[in-house]
Amino acid sequence: MLEARKIVVGIGGKRLLDDITLCVKPGEVLAVVGPNGAGKSTLLKTMCGDLKPRHGFITMNGNELEDWPIAELARVRGVLPQNSTLSFPFTVLEVVAMGRCPHRRNGDAAHDDAIIRQAMALTDTERFVDRIYTTLSGGERQRVQLARVLTQIWEPVGDLPRYLLLDEPTSALDLAHQHSVLAIARRFADRFQAGVLAILHDLNLAALYADRIAVLHSGRLMAFDSPERVLDADLIMEIFGYPVTIAAHPKQTDRPLVIPHLLQHAE
């Protein structure tokens, strides 16, 4: 389990996260939603150790994050950044292969190759294996980065649960790829019993793929439950300040569908 216990994160006098307790269980997809500036990325950065909480702590599989040797952590946990600053002309293959860095000690090139190949097939990036990364579009880059992170935690290390943290993994993607990325996350959770935490903007993506949704607002956790319990018209009005109607999904009847109303500006 990846768990945040009563964490408070602040910069200067400003509280970015206030007393947040939540957890990602192995085998579940947790979506974190909330308006801009709610503290979603701060939460992810704290959960992966980039930011230190002022109070409270983060544990992974029962041990505090700070007690994990950094190299060991890298073998069981992958983090997909919101955007990557890579400006050197690596090929796509070289970028994806970097995901194997934490496993280099067991150096088996053919084995690494097989994993890289599968991750690239899964993320639909095989077509540009030899392309220069910096020449790809934003969405293509995002999928290549996902392939890199997947190769990192592709195989089990002992019987330790693995975790995948995704910071807005669908922000630059077209409709089909948005769903394919979340389907991959879903599959990692179902098949490998990995715990997935994904920051999402689209409430309907969260409703379709997540087991639980955490709603953040101004650094506070406003709701943390299953999609059908969390996605409520009043709560969404309160948090996002926007009117919606909640319906049942016509195909996925167990999942709610969020239908935004038309916004009419006063003349």
Partner 1 sequence: MMKAALVMSGGTKRYAVLGGLTLLLFVTAIVSLGIGAYSISPGQVLAILSEILGLQLPWPFDDGHRAVLESIRGPRIALGILIGATLAVSGAAMQGLFRNPLADPALIGVSSGAALAAVAAIVLETSLLKNMSQLLGHYYLPAAAFSGGFAVTWLVYRFAGSGGRLDIASLLLAGIAVNALAGSLTGLLTSIADDQQLRTLTFWSMGSLGGANWSQVVAGLPFFLLNLLLLPYFSSALNALLLGEAEAGHLGFSVETVKTAVIVLVALGVGCCIAFGGIIGFIGLVVPHLLRLRLGPDHRIILPGSALLGASLLLASDGLARSLAVPAEIPIGIVTGVLGSPFFLWLLYRQRMLGG
Question: Taking the complex as a whole, how short is the minimal distance between the CB of residue 241 and partner 1, in angstroms?
Answer: 32
The one-letter amino acid at 259: I
Contact between residue 165 and residue 189 where contact means Cβ atoms under 8 Å apart: no
Does 137 contact partner 1 by CB under 8 A? no
Q: 217-256: which residues touch partner 1 (CB under 8 A)?
A: none
124 binds partner 1 (CB under 8 A): no
The candidate with the shortest Cα–Cα distance to 201, out of 82, 81, 84, 35, is: 35
Interface residue with partner 1, options 99, 169, 219, 256 (CB under 8 A): 99
Q: Does 81 bind partner 1 (CB under 8 A)?
A: yes
In the complex with partner 1, the residue whose CB is nearer, 113 or 190, is 113
Helix, strand, or coil (residue 265): coil
Footprint on residues 9-28 left by partner 1 (CB under 8 A) = none
With DSSP H G I counted as helix, E B as strand and the rest as coil, what are the percentages for the chain, rounded to 5?
A: 40, 25, 35
155 binds partner 1 (CB under 8 A): no
**188: enclosing H helix or E strand:** helix 175-192
Strands 195-199 and 29-33 turn out to be: parallel
Shortest distance, position 206 Cβ to partner 1, whole Å: 24
**Structure tokens given for 203:** 């409430």
Residues contributing to the site for partner 1 (CB under 8 A): 45, 48-50, 70-75, 77-79, 81, 84-91, 93-95, 97-102, 104, 109-110, 112-113, 116-117, 120, 126, 129, 152
